[in-house]
Chains A and B, each alone.
Chain A
């Protein structure tokens, strides 16, 4: 009886997060290395600085995990997650200067497993609490903006600029901005082209079953080509085009660089765009389509007034899949000189400089996460049909 009562009061995922979080608090929180290449010494959270400095951070981590247990109050759990995240950054900001003091000119400090695990735990706690709160699309947009603003503030304040990854950044500011622009260009540009080709193709496939039978298997096949192989295959193909087609090289078409990476991403994007367009357009209830025909709508009017509005959430879900997929895949472009954050990842791999890898990987993850959340909000906004209440 007691067990049943306490299980009702405590959140099951909250218990899991608390156990994982407590375990992660015992793991090394940061590392201190003599330079950017060698492996560092692990330092646990309570040794980062004076007890008077680390204690508030440790307490807010523990309090955050404890608040996450309260199943009945998702708002309190949300606040617990925020408190925990604040504690994490507090420890990071307090530990960095303290560890670096007197550690030598080339010394580097980085967050370690404990930090990353706790970060994951609190983000999961936050999304679990958010799931229970089920905020509307506008509330979610406000939360996203607030989270981004908080992150920007922390980075802009310079409190973390002594961290190893920020040092890697400081040495490559122009390259970073260039990589950022390239990455966006690859991910969004290929999505745009895939949309321009894919939406009309999807609409055609929707109205002609024969075309659908011919095109979808081809696109599925493209999707199964491993990404490295796809990027590699583009090199000879575009290299040949660049050399034989007059004027192709002058607009940047060559075996390596932006063009082959871009084209590979377009190919990967076509299946989700076309497939979801077809699925979305067939989502309209058959009776509604029959009624639309029977009342004298032309095929075009049926498409614009009935099929497209009803299918838009599914179609946008396809766009979301493509966007998140392309932001991730665009990293591979770094390998064939296409630019983007992949450049740092592959440089870092060559130099065994973990923090340089992270300088490429973390912004990619952030970008994908923000794109996914923003697209989810957009999908919810276009879902104009209220759920049946009867």
Chain B
């Protein structure tokens, strides 16, 4: 459990982060969203003490981070940034093994861990181990950057706009990969972004920052349906609101008996995907399949009812 306790950071007497208090459960993904200058990055950087708080403290599993030397603390916390920050003169293996190397792991243990992580990120170890970052595509560099942050099995992973430099197609894939890997490893992640879409896709909890203050901290559904301030409502976007909400619900929740025409959707697809399929092909219902076997259908009517029910609880 990570407890952020009345943490404040002043620049020339002006608070960039103003008495933020927030608790983050182990094994969850918390996404901090805000516009530029909202203090979200400063808040993140105070967790591993790249910025020193002016007052307040952060406790990781009850232990104040102020009692640990900063560089020792940072070795326990994974850190991935926009533009990956890989060392251009080191191979992929050496990059991923950087923190274990700082922690004096044995060479065998490091190389086994490197191969394990490359496999986890769908990169063939034989092929990629000895390449240099300059020889990789943007998406591959970003995956190596995240793999490096995870290498020492840190208590906590901090990510600062990790997908900001990727094109939209690769970004979506990277987000899916991160969610899959996070579930698999049970990591605790705090991620900063300015993109509400990304926040809703990835988060268990969304924290919205505005002018240095934490204005709302809740589940994506709460943020969408009950925005605490005008600013949060603007961030969510009034037009996109129902669609964002539907994107949180898998079709499995609305599957009913019956048949429908046309191409089937998998049960993991969201209601937004189903709505989109209905609108695009003019169908009133779409078939749903699980592992290639038809399990029923989801109707346009049901999706509409669900969207209304959630928006006006």
Contact = CB atoms under 8 A, between A and B. Distances in A.
Interface of A: 285, 287-298, 301, 305-306, 309-310, 384-390
A387 B148 CA distance: 22
Contacts of A386: 132, 134-135
A288 B144 CA distance: 13
Contacts of B71: 296-298
A292 B83 CA distance: 13
B79 A294 contact: yes
Contacts of A285: 85, 88
Interface in B252-289: none
Contact of B74 (A288, A289, A294, A306): A294
B98 A288 contact: no
A290 B89 contact: no
Does more than half of chain B's interface fall in helix, strand or loop, or is it mixed?
mixed
Given A296-B102, A297-B102, A301-B102, A310 B88 contact: yes
B134 A387 contact: yes
12 contacts: A285-B85, A287-B81, A293-B50, A294-B79, A295-B75, A296-B72, A297-B71, A297-B102, A310-B87, A310-B89, A387-B134, A388-B134
B73 interface: yes
B86 interface: yes
Nearest to A306: B87
A296 B75 contact: yes
Contacts of A297: 71, 102
Interface residues of B, number: 31
Contacts of A294: 48, 50, 74, 79, 81, 85, 158
B88 A385 contact: yes
B224 to A, nearest CB: 32
Contacts, number: 77
Contacts of A305: 87
B22 interface: no
A100 to B, nearest CB: 59
Given A295-B99, A296-B75, A290 B132 contact: no
Contact of B89 (A293, A298, A384, A388): A384
B136 interface: yes
Q: A-B pairs with the 5 shortest C-beta distances?
A: A291-B85, A296-B74, A294-B79, A296-B75, A287-B85
Nearest to A295: B99
A386 B82 CA distance: 22
A291 B134 contact: no
Given A291-B87, A387-B134, 15 more contacts: A285-B85, A287-B82, A289-B85, A291-B81, A291-B86, A294-B81, A294-B85, A295-B148, A309-B89, A310-B88, A386-B132, A388-B134, A389-B134, A390-B136, A390-B137
Nearest to A291: B85
B84 interface: yes
Contacts of A290: 81, 85
A316 to B, nearest CB: 15
Nearest to B74: A296
A238 B239 CA distance: 82
Contacts of A310: 87-89
B153 to A, nearest CB: 14
A289 B145 CA distance: 14
A169 to B, nearest CB: 47
Contacts of A298: 71
A305 B97 CA distance: 13
Nearest to B134: A388
A297 B103 CA distance: 10
B134 to A, nearest CB: 4
B79 A291 contact: yes
A296 B134 contact: no
- Which of A294, A306, A309, A384: most chain B Cβ within 10 A? A294
